[in-house]
Amino acid sequence: MILARSSPGLVFCILFIIFYFTNKYVLSVLKFTYPTLFLGWQTCTGALQLLGTWKLGWVEINGFSRSTALLWLPGSVFFLGNIYAGSKALSILPIPFFFVLQNVSEVVFFIINRVTQRERSSWIKIFSQTLMLMSAFILMLHNPQFGPNGYIWASIHLFCIGSYRVFQKNSKSGLLSDFEQHLINYLVSIFLLASAAHPTGDLFGALEFPLLMSYKFHGGCFASAVFGFLLLLASVKLKSGQSLVQCAIWVLVAKILASGLSIFIFSTKLSPLTVYCILTNHAGEALSVHSDRIQDR
């Protein structure tokens, strides 16, 4: 019984780890740093897989009007900013560092929500946000070898995630399901990424990529697309069967596992202060989830 209830979360964690490890492999190990093409491939195959599973009746996508899609357009722009900046940051930063900075998106969401909605927060919530913000700041100061590009892209990434969550919570296009939101996100991203491929130099730069015909590169790109879509399915399944707090707990577990395992798979140099910042950041995330759990009671 316990295993049956935990299985969606366990599947989510496994797919989460594989997806991030696959992306890290393509971006950092193979050094394919042409995000308009890599993300264009992921979003295009994601849209095709989503439409294919809809045709097979495995997922539900209802029709939506053009005006509803237009209302969701700002969310799609935040989504694109999230994946583009995240791809650039992940290609530079070790996975534990990446998640520490990504967690600051919770602080962005907290601040915007507090200002716009004037929601009251407990001292535990405020303390948890302070822990995440300060640990990320100290981590950046103590590891300047990854900046400024790595930290600038990570900052854009976390801002887009926080803004996307705020928009998703307060959007007037609330009739859209998760799959419908992602379909619009994919289609908008495909168009904008295709438009940017030539001006950014990615289109011709990729032709000179030394591993372009390598089976390792092809396998990495294929795996990133497949596991990215499976992670989407697992995320929606998890959200449909569990509360937001329970989902946040599984995300926390997935990040901790991914950070810990990545040390043994990818080259990562850690100092005592760096380890302290990582642990403090995840402790802050856990406190934030705990405060949400108390508030929901």
pLDDT tens digits for 170-227?
Answer: 876 667 889 999 999 999 999 999 999 999 999 899 999 999 999 999 999 999 999 9
137: containing domain: 2-296
The structural domain count of the chain equals 1
Number of neighbouring beta carbons within 10 Å of residue 62: 10
Q: Note the pLDDT of residue 146.
A: 79
Q: What is d(CA 254, CA 10) in angstroms, rounded to the nearest whole number?
A: 9
Give yes or no for a contact between 115 and 86, defined as CB atoms under 8 angstroms apart.
no
Q: Note the pLDDT of residue 11.
A: 95
Q: Note the pLDDT of residue 241.
A: 83
Q: Note the pLDDT of residue 171.
A: 75
Q: What is d(CA 256, CA 36) in angstroms, rounded to the nearest whole number?
A: 29
Q: What is d(CA 220, CA 238) in angstroms, rounded to the nearest whole number?
A: 26
Closest by CA position to 286, among listed 257, 256, 243, 242: 256
Cβ contacts of 52 within 8 Å, gap of 6 or more: none
pTM above 0.95, yes or no: no
Q: What is d(CA 155, CA 133) in angstroms, rounded to the nearest whole number?
A: 12
Cβ contacts of 92 within 8 Å, gap of 6 or more: 28, 146, 149, 150, 153
Output the CA–CA distances (angstroms, integers) from residue 130 to 6, 110, 282, in the order listed: 31, 11, 12
Closest by CA position to 255, among listed 227, 278, 226: 278
Q: Note the pLDDT of residue 106.
A: 93
Q: What is d(CA 112, CA 54) in angstroms, rounded to the nearest whole number?
A: 35
Q: What is d(CA 206, CA 141) in angstroms, rounded to the nearest whole number?
A: 33
Give yes or no for a contact between 236 and 7, defined as CB atoms under 8 angstroms apart.
no
Closest by CA position to 250, among listed 13, 21, 20, 11: 13
Residues of the chain falling short of pLDDT 50: none
Buried b (16+ CB within 10 A) or exposed e, 211-226: eeeeeebeebbebbbb
Q: From the centroid of its chain, how far is CA 162?
A: 11
Q: Note the pLDDT of residue 267.
A: 86
Q: Note the pLDDT of residue 103.
A: 96
Q: Note the pLDDT of residue 155.
A: 95
Give yes or no for a contact between 40 and 228, defined as CB atoms under 8 angstroms apart.
no
Cβ contacts of 118 within 8 Å, gap of 6 or more: none
